Structure 1
């Protein structure tokens, strides 16, 4: 009888020890450290435009940029501004001025560490411009209708401006750039854009040479641009 009592006592001791160890393991707190990043509105200015205005007196412009983070890698983005450009060509001078807006999205392909929010992004935009185009001066070619007298350009150009307002341009744009947080919530960004013109209104009897927000309009209806922005993020929520 004593042997059985000792055996049962040993068995119960082993079971009790096993349950105690299991309970201790379950009560061990898990690592609950989480690294959250800020979601908010980021607003700034494209520094390339005032810089170009300072260097090139035939140009003036200002562009405000902004975006809002909607997920880990996706941002909705927009730019709006004003530009005036005077184009000098052989035998003519023209100018274009007006407002523009671009809206679209950015995808961040860069994998940040912990709570960093740097970006290597690819962006898509739809662009719209409302502008005025003016033929400021031109030298018309003159012909007498005689085969013995070749076409020539008078030495004195026509300097009476011919302007037309209410013109519109529509285009799509692809962007590639980087964005780096230099100080807390302060970002520097730079990159390039490739633009495809969908439609543009021409001045009567004269082709539009420049559209605000799009830049120079070439025969291929494509164009390029660059940007260098400084922006600040207003945090709204951490996720």
Structure 2
């Protein structure tokens, strides 16, 4: 009986050791799974410079004989939501109204920022933005011809007077609000459009004439109000990548509090 009890005790020890090893392996597997879950890499977002051209002004030069223009656009991502933005261009526009025909030539620069309100998911980098610009233009006006307004048509209309007078050294400054969007159509290639509303801050007027068209500002309405549109294609040059902050992730996951 002593031999049998010793044998039984030995088998019990062996079984206990096997069970202990099995439990350790199971615990190790669970720990490795937990480590793998906790080691999911954070989301990386790209930061860099986007450069492009306004296709609207470029193509307009082909189908409008009295217009020549080119605008280069760019933006640089400084935070997850904010972009520094700028546009530089030149325009040569002839306007033929009922009473006057004139040509405006000049260059302009607009600088400001955009705020991206679109919540991207995955690796998307699309933009729906609102922004603000400060614009400045340097230009000249040529009065090609004009017609003196005659309220009494009994004797017929006044003759058209050919002028050719030039007004150089003109300038204007304005503020504009911009709303638009950009979508990635190919790898790093974006197509977008935007609308803008402008308000003149200051301008240098020619003698006995008015700035009826300002490069970068477009046609003036009521003396100091203007609108604009552009359609752009641009290429994104990535500089570096950064992770999404943990606080921003936590805010997204927080359940909204119910109103009492």
TM over 0.5: yes
Please name the residue that 2:197 is paired with.
194
Do structure 1's residue 54 and structure 2's residue 62 form an aligned pair?
Answer: yes
Q: 1:238 aligns with which of 237, 241, 245?
A: 241
Please name the residue that 1:204 is paired with.
207
Q: 1:1-16, aligned counterparts within 5 Å?
A: none
Deviations 1:5-33 (A, max 9, x none): xxxxxxxx99xx89x95996487342322
Q: Secondary structure of the equivalent of 2:161?
A: coil
Distance 1:141 1:108 in 2: 50
Please name the residue that 1:126 is paired with.
134
Q: Which residues of structure 1 form unaligned runs of 5+?
A: 1-12
Q: Secondary structure of the equivalent of 2:44?
A: coil
Distance 1:222 1:142 in 2: 28
Q: Is the 8 A contact 1:60 1:83 kept in 2?
A: yes
Larger Rg: 2
Q: CA RMSD in A?
A: 2.8
Q: 1:28-67, aligned counterparts within 5 Å?
A: 28-29=35-36, 30-67=38-75
Q: Secondary structure of the equivalent of 1:161?
A: strand
Q: 1:216 aligns with which of 197, 216, 219?
A: 219
Deviations 1:117-164 (A, max 9, x none): 100000110000000011111123579xxxx99786433x22131111
CA deviation after TM superposition for structure 1 residue 74, in Å: 0.5
Q: 2:86 aligns with which of 78, 81, 86?
A: 78
Q: Which moved more, 1:214-223 or 1:61-70?
A: 214-223
Do structure 1's residue 166 and structure 2's residue 169 form an aligned pair?
Answer: yes
Distance 1:230 1:149 in 2: 51
Q: Is the 8 A contact 2:99 2:149 kept in 1?
A: no
CA deviation after TM superposition for structure 1 residue 115, in Å: 2.1
Please name the residue that 2:146 is paired with.
138
Please name the residue that 1:69 is paired with.
77
Q: 1:180-191, aligned counterparts within 5 Å?
A: 180-191=183-194
Distance 2:31 2:150 in 1: 98
Distance 2:149 2:177 in 1: 40
Distance 2:155 2:100 in 1: 17
Q: Secondary structure of the equivalent of 2:210?
A: coil
Distance 1:121 1:24 in 2: 46
Question: Normalising to structure 2: TM-score of the pair?
Answer: 0.77
Distance 2:205 2:139 in 1: 11
Q: Is the 8 A contact 1:141 1:151 kept in 2?
A: no
Q: Secondary structure of the equivalent of 2:216?
A: coil
Q: Which moved more, 1:38-47 or 1:87-96?
A: 87-96
Larger helix proportion of the pair: 2
CA deviation after TM superposition for structure 1 residue 90, in Å: 1.3
Alignment CA distance shift 1:35-1:200 (3 Å): same
Q: Secondary structure of the equivalent of 2:166?
A: strand
